[in-house]
Amino acid sequence: MIVAFEGWNDACQTATNVVRRMVAHYESREVRHISCDGYYDYQTARPMMCHVTGRARIVWPQTTFFEVALDDGYRLYAQIAPEPNYRWMEYCRQSLRVAQELDVDHVVTLGAMFAECPHTRPLPVDVSDSTCQCDMDREYNGPVGITTVLDEMARGEGFDTSSMWVSIPQYVGSDECAQGTLQLTQELSCVVGRELDTTDLDRLAHQWRMRGDVLSSSDDELAAYVRRLENEYDRTARAATLAARNSPQAEEMVRDAENYLKGLDH
């Protein structure tokens, strides 16, 4: 079951757009809902007025579960919702009951966050699963979103779990980030074992990168900031490559990168 929440966990709608695109592209149907009652602050997650066939209708925030049939007949489930405001533990228990009813054995949570990274490089994607935590999970101390709570509770209930987070450069703006959605979809394809559709995402990702180029080229201060991010990214990537090869230069490269970053703080 693929899970994404709107709000704090979803910079530029990057994670929820993975689910929206899957539901729109493949044969899909709604199979379950979780009522909004008791989970939302309606001053934060406001109901929407919608006119369908000439009639006004109020649409309340809710959780929807979809069954999605991929092209080869393989079926998976997707959960999408605004992040709840209240009663997270009960909400997660209810979500996992639905997963059990649907015979789900693997829960995959998706997220996106703003971070200091350049738009000119592949966006950092951190992936962890039940047996292997990413560096971000091992080192992070601080506030968490509903995806982390659901992931931990699912693991405690015996589900296999995977968590995927993509980093988004905030300086490009708060519009949708197709590059991030593309990379999350590609990572999800590896977990699912099926190549998921990325129709138009390559083109939209190119447009997103071009927008970043235009912004940085018209602002000298921003251009210098992007160059600094590129240097940091390239140093870290080179150190990681050397470490993966068990190179004796790896430790020295990591120290150089750390010293370089410390120097930028002074």
Q: What is the pLDDT of residues 218-232, one digit of tens each?
A: 999 999 999 999 999
pLDDT of residue 54: 77
**DSSP letter assigned to residue 181:** H
E strand segments, the chain: 2-6, 27-34, 48-52, 55-59, 63-69, 75-82, 106-115, 125-129, 160-169
Is residue 215's pLDDT more than 70?
yes
**pLDDT confidence tier of residue 94, bands split at 50, 70 and 90:** very high
Is residue 97's pLDDT more than 90?
yes
pLDDT of residue 138: 58
pLDDT of residue 208: 97
Mean pLDDT for the stretch of residues 117-145: 81
Instruction: Choose between 245 and 56: higher pLDDT.
Output: 56
Question: Pairing relation of β-strands 106-115 and 55-59?
Answer: unpaired
Is residue 159's pLDDT more than 90?
yes
Mean pLDDT for the stretch of residues 27-38: 93
Give the Cβ contact number of residue 37 at 10 Å: 8
Q: Which of 21-25, 55-59, 123-127 has the lowest mean pLDDT?
A: 55-59
CA atoms within 13 A on the CB side of 5: 24
Mean pLDDT for the stretch of residues 109-135: 88
Return the bridge partners of 115, or none: 169
Percent of the chain with pLDDT over 90: 71
pLDDT of residue 66: 98
Mean pLDDT for the stretch of residues 174-196: 95
**pLDDT confidence tier of residue 109, bands split at 50, 70 and 90:** very high
Instruction: Choose between 264 and 121: higher pLDDT.
Output: 121
- Per the CB < 8 A criterion, the answer to whether 124 and 70 are in contact is no
d(CA 247, CA 239): 9
Q: Which two tokens stand for residue 225?
A: 């900031």
Homologous superfamily (CATH) of 2-198 is PAC-like subunit (3.40.50.10900)
Q: What residue spans define the domains of the chain? A: 2-198, 219-264
pLDDT of residue 164: 97
- Per the CB < 8 A criterion, the answer to whether 189 and 74 are in contact is no
> Which one-letter amino acid corresponds to residue 249?
Q
d(CA 137, CA 142): 11
**pLDDT confidence tier of residue 251, bands split at 50, 70 and 90:** low
pTM of the model: 0.86
178-181, Cβ contacts within 8 angstroms, sequence gap of 24 or more: 178/204, 178/205, 178/207, 178/208, 179/119, 179/123, 179/205, 179/208, 179/209, 180/11, 180/12, 180/14, 180/112, 180/123, 181/14, 181/15, 181/17, 181/18, 181/21, 181/205
d(CA 76, CA 124): 26
d(CA 252, CA 66): 49
Instruction: Choose between 10 and 71: higher pLDDT.
Output: 10
